Amino acid sequence: MLLRIFEITSSLDCTKLWDVIPKDYLSDSLMALFQRQLSDTIRSIVVEYPYIDKDYRSTYYGFYSKRHRSYDKFCFRLHFFEQPIASEDVLPEAVNSYLGSIVLRPTEVAPLGRTLLSPRAIKGFNGYLCETEFINSLNGIELPVRTFPHTMQDTDVTVCAHAVCWMIARYYSERYSVYPERLTYDIASAIKDVSFGRTIPSRGITLGQVSEILDSIGFYPELFVHELYMEGDPDFFHDILYCYVESGIPVVAAMHGKAHAVAVIGHGALVSAVDTITALNWSGQFLPARRCCPSFVINDDNRLPFSFIGANEVSGNPYRLSDVDGFAVPLSEKMYLSADNILKIYPKWASGGLVQLGAEETYVARVFMTSSRSYKRSLTASADMDPMLRKAQIELPMPKFIWVIELSAPTVYDRGQVNYRWVVDATANPYEEYPFLMIHDSEKMILYDRTYRGRMYEVEFEKPLTPFTIFKNNLMRYA
């Protein structure tokens, strides 16, 4: 039921919540996070109690109810709005100003439970992230919010890596019906290899065990470890990470040195490619788009959602990109070809003479995966693409997932366009000579019907191609 409505003028007013919520549920440290990170655009907080939270209940019945001391079965749930709410009667008119919810559990040490907060509820958020719609219900009123889920570890049943797996699992189960919902206790008890000792109470887990958890949910995880990429180009490891993030695939990043794990769920605001090339004194033919992206968006269970991690310290976050020792990518079954393969293969199509790039010294290369369904949907709305290039791709049979390589001259990239876009079969074998479905330059395209005819076609354009708009369906921009 609706317990109380607080009108606030800044995040500092969150202390009013202590009028009705005990510190077991809202600790001093959590209050400090509220005051530091919640947006000052929040005007109302609605407090709901008793709230039955299925994730907390799963740990309650699996663990807390077995303790000698007693724990409350119920939680508080806070709902945030951008407009003042005088009484519950005006809630139906406030739906459009809804900024999401936070569940507070009676788990003292880390009481922040399931958090579904819009990035607009976080002070100064500016970036791109994976998100999907969740629908909360308050007094029978449906309140939609678009976000990526977040929670804190409870330190008894779950640790940070469990919390991150939960975030990813909940995002996918809400977005795609093929993935099952997994409650907090299900995640913690998914590890079957107990050679490291009992799993609950948890004493921490390894990246390998994270992979086991993701596998138990129905993913096909791929693992990358930084130390294997230290020879040659040490930034290559981060370029791989960027490809998956740009694909809209949330990643579990492990920081062994910091004994911590976070979810990487997007990236920060982009910087100019022209300026980046100058700053780096870059002379290579391809500049990975990651170099124009100084930070990644993370969900760190020690904080509220949507923090940043970069090469340098970002907004008070103690972690840096160099702290990431490895990461696990929760792939779908039919995503066989991995990002590192693609990053090595695509430059060779130009150097091997299949296509001839223009006179630019450097092209910005943005590499990502998407579904062919999403890609073809974007093609139907692509008004500035050559009609033959567009229609040929719409007609060409494609697998469920494809890799896309977008190449842009620096000035073209800075205005959100690409010169060339190549499409690759994500089910291809990495040792295949021709894994692409379509590559092109300004004069011609090569189309490979890999499934029906098994033929490769070369088609000349009627007139040289001009730049067209980048693909934007994977991540949502918030500024």
Q: Which residues bind other proteins (CB under 8 A)?
A: 153, 159-161, 204-211, 222-225, 227-229, 254-256, 259-261, 325-326, 328, 338, 340-341, 344-345, 348-349, 351-354, 388, 391-392, 395-396, 430-431, 433, 446-447, 449, 452, 455-460
Q: Which is nearer to other proteins, 20 or 230 (by Cβ)?
A: 230
Give me the least distance between CB of 207 and other proteins, in Å please: 4
Give me the least distance between CB of 320 and other proteins, in Å please: 16
Q: Which is nearer to other proteins, 145 or 342 (by Cβ)?
A: 342
- Measured from the Cβ of residue 344, the count of other Cβ atoms closer than 10 Å reads 11
Give the whole-angstrom CA distance, residue 235 versus residue 444: 33
- State how far the alpha carbon of 12 is from the alpha carbons of 41, 119, 288, 351, in Å: 12, 19, 41, 58
Q: Which is nearer to other proteins, 74 or 434 (by Cβ)?
A: 434
Q: Which is nearer to other proteins, 80 or 237 (by Cβ)?
A: 237
**Residue 258, φ and ψ in degrees, nearest 5:** -100, 0
Q: What is the dihedral of CA 15, 157, 210, 476, to 10 degrees?
A: -30
Closest to 471 in 3D by CA, of 416, 392, 425, 415: 416
Give me the least distance between CB of 94 and other proteins, in Å please: 39
Give me the least distance between CB of 373 and other proteins, in Å please: 19
Give me the least distance between CB of 164 and other proteins, in Å please: 9
Give me the least distance between CB of 32 and other proteins, in Å please: 21
- State how far the alpha carbon of 451 is from the alpha carbons of 7, 318, 379, 431, in Å: 60, 49, 21, 18
- State how far the alpha carbon of 198 is from the alpha carbons of 56, 67, 141, 144, in Å: 21, 17, 43, 39
Give the whole-angstrom CA distance, residue 333 versus residue 424: 17
Give me the least distance between CB of 11 and other proteins, in Å please: 28
Q: Which is nearer to other proteins, 275 or 395 (by Cβ)?
A: 395
Q: Which is nearer to other proteins, 123 or 390 (by Cβ)?
A: 390
Give me the least distance between CB of 451 and other proteins, in Å please: 12
Q: Is the dihedral of CA 25, 30, 32, 33 positive or negative?
A: negative
b/e per residue 51-88 (b: at least 16 CB within 10 A):
bebebbbbbbebbbeeeeeebbebbbbbbbbbeebeee
Closest to 340 in 3D by CA, of 229, 227, 181: 229
Q: Look-up: residue for tokens 């008890």?
A: 189
Give me the least distance between CB of 80 and other proteins, in Å please: 29
Give me the least distance between CB of 152 and other proteins, in Å please: 12
Q: Which is nearer to other proteins, 132 or 427 (by Cβ)?
A: 427
Q: Which is nearer to other proteins, 57 or 303 (by Cβ)?
A: 303
Q: Which is nearer to other proteins, 33 or 354 (by Cβ)?
A: 354
Q: Are 414 and 270 within 8 A, CB to CB?
A: no
Q: Are 129 and 472 within 8 A, CB to CB?
A: no
Give me the least distance between CB of 434 and other proteins, in Å please: 8
Q: Which is nearer to other proteins, 5 or 345 (by Cβ)?
A: 345
Give the whole-angstrom CA distance, residue 118 versus residue 121: 5
Give the whole-angstrom CA distance, residue 105 versus residue 77: 9
Length reported for the chain: 479
Q: Which is nearer to other proteins, 70 or 195 (by Cβ)?
A: 195
Q: Are 143 and 62 within 8 A, CB to CB?
A: no
